């Protein structure tokens, strides 16, 4: 009789049979012991197999051909190289373009000498769309696929777009080093569309736009992007809405340092020239943007021509950048539907020979600054000592309309005297770096207990703007105290949080075992408590 019990037993047997059958058929192929090249091993492999590559340099290209494979080096990327330097044709070193999933993994190689794959790409300008052919993805070419690239060094490749990598698919790039790549167009290290990158070091790359990264719709987290160069916008990171449809990019917990643009946006440069779809254009959270340089917008430069989704910078530090206009931030928009929100951030130590050393705004787009410290940004003319104690040295706007500053700190107030703004010294633990300059290396921009920024922000407005109301720049708790009466360290949601990127964190009390009553004193009350319990323990 066929019962529910026998059905369950049959299902279990079938499942175990399938599992052990799969486990039995999965194989490990060794290069060069079993196969002389990586590509021959791939051709011989089946889905689920592992290919282990011995140390050495392997010339030629690697194409995964839609297979689910884990291809890894035995000894790491320093000792195992895949190179296309001997090939005359335009080609990437690694091709993944046949619908591969996260079950396809490339791990532990140096990838070098690639020149890109000719690819037809949508290009948008205003409302006009065209297809153009570019060589893309010098080192790694990912299209219509979602593989994992892990623990690789991707260097000395070149292409028109994505000198090191091109990823048009939901690929994951993690724990990699991407350096010394070149793109004649955009994305010296990488051009990303719908891809995710984390824990990766991107340095010393060069491109026309987006010296380090060019992102259209992407997620970047826990990365370091430094010492990259762009001739146009985006020395470290370029964000471009032109082509590929919508733009929804997020950069979080990332350091963008020492990059240079010969135009706009030394650290981060954005250009919006067509409508984008979705609630967000670009969101940057818990990022450190420091020591970058440009003509406009040393730290961040945005030029917006046509409607776009909002840009949001939150819980971030924009420090010690320099530019001719807008040492820290430059924002120019020709359409008043643009929104650029800077929330709970610190803009300090930036330099410019003109007013607006901290922030400069042009055009008619809307710039909203909330719960933010703008202090110590210096107007420096002809190499002189500089001016940093005026409102104009911190922020310059082409007009009052479209600019909103609220619950923020400036050294002095002349225009923005309402909306909860305050003036004075923010009360950093140590605002000066090892070189004696404000907000440079070695400075400590945490708030002192006596800081006037303490509980001077607006929690409700912050909650409307912030993605994460629970964490500050360093990932520490945002302690909200609406009526300023709750003991510090007790999170109570209300009207006020601290101004700036870093919430004041109380020092944890040192435990005192003899303080039995918990009143902070050791005395007769503690002795009475002890005596009242004298005897055999229950």
pLDDT digits (tens, 9 = 90+) for 15-28: 444 444 444 588 99
> For residue 61, what pLDDT band results from cuts at 50, 70 and 90?
very high
CB 354, CB 387: distance < 8 Å: no
Calpha distance 532→530 (Å, rounded): 6
Q: In whole angstroms, how large is the CA radius of gyration of the chain?
A: 28
Whether the CB-CB separation of 397 and 364 falls below 8 Å is answered with no
Q: Does residue 468 carry a pLDDT above 90?
A: no
Identify the CA nearest to 212 among candidates 196, 195, 192, 193. 192
pLDDT number for residue 112: 98
Dig out the tokens for 324 from the structure: 């001719």
DSSP state of 212: S
pLDDT of residue 142: 97
Cα–Cα distance for residue pair 190/381, rounded to 1 Å? 37
The residue with greater pLDDT, 517 or 353, is: 353
Give the closest residue to 239 by CA, choosing from 273, 262, 205: 273
Q: Using CA atoms, how far apart are residues 393 and 358, in angstroms rounded to an integer?
A: 7
Helix (H/G/I), strand (E/B), else coil: 330? strand
What is the separation of C-alpha 199 from the centre of its chain, rounded to a whole number of angstroms? 10
Three-state secondary-structure class, residue 152: coil
Distance CA 243, CA 342 (A): 26
pLDDT at 2 over 50: no
At residue 282, the pLDDT reads: 85
> By 3-state DSSP, what share of the chain in percent is helix, strand and coil, each rounded to 5?
10, 40, 50
> DSSP secondary-structure letter at 508?
P
4-10 long-range contacts (CB < 8 A, ≥24 apart) are none
Give the integer Cα–Cα distance in Å for 418 and 410.
Answer: 12
Distance CA 222, CA 51 (A): 29
Tracing tokens 């921009």 back to the chain, one arrives at: 445
Confidence of residue 242 (pLDDT cuts 50, 70, 90): low
Distance CA 484, CA 494 (A): 10
Per-residue pLDDT tens for 77-121? 999 999 999 998 889 999 999 999 999 999 999 999 999 998 877
Q: HEC profile for 416-427?
A: CCCCCCEECCCC
- DSSP letter for each residue of 184-211: EEE-SSEEEEEEEEES-EEES-EEEE-S
Q: What is the spatial distance between Cα 253 and Cα 249, in angstroms, rounded to a whole number?
A: 14
Beta bridge pairs of residue 484: none
How many other CB atoms sit within 10 Å of the CB of residue 406?
Answer: 17
Question: What pLDDT score was predicted for residue 13?
Answer: 46
Give the DSSP H or E segment for 464.
Answer: helix 459-465
User: Where exactly are the structural domains of the chain?
Assistant: 24-117+136-209
Residues present in the chain in total: 538
pLDDT value, residue 459: 77
Highest mean pLDDT, choosing among 310-319, 390-399, 455-464, 520-529: 310-319
Mean pLDDT of 338-346: 89
Q: What is the mean pLDDT of the chain?
A: 86
How far apart CA 393 and CA 356 sit, in angstroms, is: 5
pTM (two decimals):
0.86
Decide yes or no: CATH 2.160.20.10 for domain 24-117+136-209: yes
């Amino acid at each position: 009789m066929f019962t529910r019990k026998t059905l369950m037993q049959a299902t279990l047997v079938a499942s175990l049979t399938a599992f052990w059958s799969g486990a039995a058929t999965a194989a490990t192929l060794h290069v060069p012991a079993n196969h002389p090249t990586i590509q021959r091993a791939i051709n011989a492999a089946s889905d689920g197999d592992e290919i282990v590559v011995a140390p050495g340099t392997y010339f030629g290209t690697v194409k995964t051909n839609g297979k689910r494979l884990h291809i890894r080096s035995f000894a790491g990327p320093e000792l195992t190289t895949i190179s296309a330097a001997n090939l005359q044709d335009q080609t990437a070193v690694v091709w993944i373009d046949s619908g591969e999933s996260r079950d396809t993994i490339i791990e532990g190689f140096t990838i070098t000498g690639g020149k890109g794959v000719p690819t037809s790409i949508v290009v948008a300008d205003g409302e006009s769309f065209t297809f153009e052919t570019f060589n893309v993805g010098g080192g790694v070419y990912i299209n219509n696929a979602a593989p994992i690239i892990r623990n690789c060094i991707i260097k000395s490749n070149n292409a028109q777009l994505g000198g090191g990598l091109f990823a048009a698919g939901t690929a994951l790039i993690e724990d990699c080093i991407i350096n010394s790549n070149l793109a004649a167009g955009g994305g010296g290290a990488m051009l990303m569309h719908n891809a995710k990158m984390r824990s990766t070091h991107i340095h010393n790359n060069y491109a026309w736009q987006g010296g380090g990264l060019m992102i259209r719709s992407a997620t970047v987290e826990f990365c370091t992007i430094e010492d990259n160069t762009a001739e146009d916008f985006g020395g470290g990171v370029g964000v471009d809405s032109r082509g590929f449809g919508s733009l929804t990019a997020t950069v979080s917990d990332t350091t963008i340092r020492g990059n240079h643009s010969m135009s706009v946006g030394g650290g981060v440069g954005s250009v919006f020239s067509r409508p984008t779809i979705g609630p967000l254009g670009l969101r940057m959270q818990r990022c450190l943007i420091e020591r970058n340089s440009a003509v406009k917008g040393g730290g961040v430069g945005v030029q917006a021509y046509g409607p776009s989704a909002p840009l949001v910078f939150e819980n971030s530090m924009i420090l010690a950048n320099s530019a001719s206009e807008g040492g820290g931030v430059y924002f120019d928009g020709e359409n008043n539907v643009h929104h650029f929100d800077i929330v709970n951030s610190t803009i300090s130590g930036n330099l410019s020979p003109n007013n607006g050393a901290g922030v400069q705004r042009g055009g008619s787009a809307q710039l909203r600054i909330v719960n933010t410290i703008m202090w110590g940004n210096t107007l420096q003319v002809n190499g002189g000592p500089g001016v940093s104690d005026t409102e104009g040295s911190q922020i310059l706007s082409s007009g009052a309309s479209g600019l909103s500053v609220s619950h923020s700190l400036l050294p002095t107030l002349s225009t923005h005297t309402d909306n909860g703004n305050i003036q004075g010294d923010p009360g950093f633990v140590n605002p000066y770096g090892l070189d004696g300059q404000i907000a440079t290396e070695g400075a400590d921009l945490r708030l002192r207990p006596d800081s006037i920024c303490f509980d001077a922000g607006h929690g409700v407005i912050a909650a409307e703007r912030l993605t994460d109301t629970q964490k500050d720049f360093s990932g520490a708790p945002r302690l909200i105290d609406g009526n300023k009466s709750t003991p510090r360290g007790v999170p109570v949601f209300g009207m006020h949080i601290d101004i700036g990127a870093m919430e004041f964190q109380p020092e944890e009390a040192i435990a005192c075992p003899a303080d039995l009553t918990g009143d902070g004193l050791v005395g007769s009350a503690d002795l009475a408590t002890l005596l009242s319990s004298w005897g055999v323990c229950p």
